[in-house]
Amino acid sequence: MVDGGRLWNRLSELAKIGKHEEGGVARLSFTTEERAAKDLVASYMQEAGLAVREDAAGNLFGRREGTEPEAPAILIGSHVDSVLNGGDFDGPLGVLGGIEVLQTMDEEGVASERPVEVVAFTDEEGARFSLGMIGSRALTGTLSQEDLLHEDRDGVSIAGAMRNAGLEPARVGEAVRPADTLAAYLELHIEQGKVLEGEDLPVGVVTGIAGPVWLRLSFAGEAGHAGTTPMGTRHDALAAAAEVVSVIEEEASVTGSTVGTVGQIGAGPGGINIIPGRAGISLDLRDIDEAVRDQVEGRIRERAAEACERRGIDLEFEELQRLPPAPCSEEIRAAITAASEGEGIRSYPLPSGAGHDGMHVAELCPMGMIFVRSRDGISHNPKEWSSREDCEAGCKVLYLTVLDLAKQG
Ligand code: GLV
Ligand code: MN
Ligand code: MN
């Protein structure tokens, strides 16, 4: 049942694409690196005997027919794009684990009633355009033409990047998947936290996915001479942003479940002897409880506005995305629990702090996720690591879950 060596070799091969000398990977969406990763994955899908196709959003699918071809399919997915200087497992484990499941079914001559498909979604991470899960949004029909205006650091929009990659943004609606063609969505992913390690368990059953809000805060003050403007008379946009960064850290620390991160900061005009007249920061705020997250956001907005008023700074908030938390399906959780126990693994339920494409696919069909233990809980970092044995254990649980949900014919 599943070839852990083959899965590990494919993970290692895929990790070479976009690898930096310092050890991290960078495979941003619609780049040559992401294209090369999808081409390699397509070749693995072919080795697994799957019918391969790409949709209008660049999502890459491999399909194995069931004995009832008209039955709704089981979809297994994840992504092959990465953050800047990311690790080898976030995304690739789910895609390659899905292919491994389908290849094993083929080799063992397993006939399932339902078709089973594996998908590598386009741009889950949002690392390039500050809008993630582009491919899964397209699948559900919630990727709007306005969304396609999001720009990267060089001012290239999603629509422009799609065109450069040979895709037609006006046709993105063709990627919409009718809900009645899907029976369930499953994703195998590294935990990216320390819970399973603490429990000494290789695999866990995800209960739900925390909902993120991504904002951009723009501060407008007044540029001035660093040598001649007295401290009490300044309108320093960067100093205001710095105060707000502290407010965010403080407010996000209050509830115990909320997490708040400022990952991007910029200031202008950018001279050593000029008071910054403008500044900008990003905010990533998440909680598994939407009401708690929104309360924290409200306090941050209030205190940021108060700080800026005191400092004579204009503050603007731009909302980049807002998603509710997504609970996993009870039925799929039960199937994963049974599969784990079938493998002799104590089943352990835990929520996901990270976002995943399942948040969107859940609009079409029941969704479930299997987590694999991460070393030291480190992720979005070149040190991200899960052992070969744990990846194999997660893949076996995925295999048994798929057999259950796709029904052996
Ligand atoms: C992606 O990994 C995210 O959770 O932002
Ligand atoms: Mn991921
Ligand atoms: Mn990620």
Length of the chain as a residue count:
409
The C-alpha atoms of residue 387 and residue 197 are separated, in whole angstroms, by 12
The C-alpha atoms of residue 227 and residue 246 are separated, in whole angstroms, by 27
Average pLDDT over residues 337-348: 97
**235-291 confidence digits (pLDDT tens):** 999 999 999 999 999 999 999 999 999 999 999 999 999 999 999 999 999 999 999
pLDDT score recorded for residue 409: 62
The residue to which tokens 């063709």 are assigned: 174
Structure tokens at 319: 């909302």
- Is 384 close to ligand 1, i.e. is its CB under 6 Å away? no
Centroid of ligand 1 to alpha carbon of 28 (angstroms): 13
Closest atom, ligand 1, to C-alpha of 125: 1
H runs (alpha helix) in 112-257: 134-140, 158-164, 195-199, 237-252
Peptide bond into 269 cis (omega under 30): yes
Closest atom, ligand 1, to C-alpha of 354: 4
Centroid of ligand 3 to alpha carbon of 82 (angstroms): 7
Question: 356, 360, 374, 381: which to mutate for ligand 1, most atoms within 8 A of CB?
Answer: 356
**322-333 confidence digits (pLDDT tens):** 999 999 999 999
The C-alpha atoms of residue 49 and residue 109 are separated, in whole angstroms, by 12
The residue to which tokens 């696919």 are assigned: 361
The C-alpha atoms of residue 60 and residue 120 are separated, in whole angstroms, by 5
**363-405 confidence digits (pLDDT tens):** 999 999 999 999 999 999 999 999 999 999 999 999 999 999 9
- Is 48 close to ligand 1, i.e. is its CB under 6 Å away? no
- What is the average pLDDT value for the chain, to the nearest integer? 97
- Is 125 close to ligand 1, i.e. is its CB under 6 Å away? yes
pLDDT-based confidence at 22, cuts 50/70/90? confident
Q: How many other CB atoms are there within 10 angstroms of residue 350's CB atom?
A: 17
- Is 392 close to ligand 1, i.e. is its CB under 6 Å away? no
- DSSP structural state of residue 62: E
Asked if 36 and 118 count as a contact pair (C-beta separation under 8 A), the reply is no
Is pLDDT at 92 greater than 70 in this prediction? yes
Asked if 269 and 221 count as a contact pair (C-beta separation under 8 A), the reply is no
- Is 353 close to ligand 1, i.e. is its CB under 6 Å away? no
Is pLDDT at 28 greater than 80 in this prediction? yes
pLDDT score recorded for residue 3: 98
Centroid of ligand 2 to alpha carbon of 171 (angstroms): 26
The residue to which tokens 């609606």 are assigned: 173
**30-64 confidence digits (pLDDT tens):** 999 999 999 999 999 999 999 999 999 999 999 99
**118-168 confidence digits (pLDDT tens):** 999 999 999 999 999 999 999 999 999 999 999 999 999 999 999 999 999
- Is 133 close to ligand 1, i.e. is its CB under 6 Å away? no
pLDDT score recorded for residue 235: 98
pLDDT-based confidence at 21, cuts 50/70/90? confident
